[in-house]
């Protein structure tokens, strides 16, 4: 079973300056899922979120243009699993006839594409239960500063080995 997620943003983990993609459940416990990503992918997601136009198309922009130009529609992204500290995702597109095709992707690339294409983001419930953390009061929208502080606290105490099965 999958649960819909929303993109909270890309934060930087100090002192190593490692970018962290943060997704949060849209409903339910509103658990947040942190995913360590690369700098270029973090930059690409930030450009899409802020709707920043570049002089030339970025790779994710080009991918969306090509796939859309071929008549496909971006349906959804599904963050599927965590194996050996590596997250996996699927990117689902549909043809004009409605036939869906699934492509394996890195979560960072899949989210960068989803933001540009307006596709929904989901995560497997088992994954959210494994690595998600609950905010103090999920009934109220989180203040961004509070969320950043909570994420920093979580990241200070977590090790990559914690994500190994």
CB-CB neighbours of 25 under 10 Å: 20
Q: What is the mean pLDDT of residues 38-65?
A: 95
User: What is the pTM for the complete model shown?
Assistant: 0.80
Residue 14 clears pLDDT 80, i.e. is over it: no
12 versus 77: the higher-pLDDT residue is: 77
Tell me what pLDDT residue 156 has: 73
- Please compute the mean of the pLDDT values over residues 43-60 and round it to a whole number: 94
Please, which residues have CB within 8 angstroms of residue 125's CB and are 6 or more apart in sequence?
1, 2, 3
Tell me the domains of the chain and their CATH numbers: 2-163 (3.10.690.10)
Per the DSSP assignment, residues forming a β-bridge with 11 are: 20
Report residue 165's pLDDT band, with 50, 70 and 90 as the boundaries.
very low
| Residue-level pLDDT at 88 | 98
Q: Over 90: is that where the pLDDT of 89 sits? A: yes
Give tens-digit pLDDT for 109-163: 999 999 999 999 999 999 999 999 987 654 555 566 776 777 777 777 776 666 5
Tell me which of 95 and 154 has the higher pLDDT. 95
Residue 54 main-chain phi, psi, to 5 deg = -110, 160
| DSSP category for residue 161 | G
Burial class (CB within 10 angstroms; exposed 0-12, middle 13-18, buried 19+) of 3: buried
- pLDDT for the residue numbered 136: 67
């Amino acid at each position: 079973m999958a649960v819909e997620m929303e993109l909270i943003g890309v934060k930087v983990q100090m002192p190593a300056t490692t970018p962290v993609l943060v997704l949060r459940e849209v409903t339910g416990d509103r658990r947040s899922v942190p995913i360590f990503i690369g700098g270029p992918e973090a930059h690409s997601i930030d450009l899409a979120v802020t709707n920043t136009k570049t002089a030339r198309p970025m790779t994710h922009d080009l991918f969306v243009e090509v796939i859309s130009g071929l008549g496909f529609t971006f349906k959804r992204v599904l963050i599927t699993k965590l194996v050996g500290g590596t997250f996996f995702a699927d990117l689902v597109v549909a043809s004009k006839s409605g036939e869906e095709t699934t492509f394996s992707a890195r979560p960072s690339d899949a989210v960068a594409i989803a933001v540009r294409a307006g596709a929904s983001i989901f995560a497997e419930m088992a994954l959210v239960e494994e690595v998600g953390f609950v905010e103090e009061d999920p009934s109220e929208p989180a203040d961004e500063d509070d969320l950043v502080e909570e994420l920093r606290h979580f990241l200070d105490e977590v090790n990559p080995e914690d994500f190994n099965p």
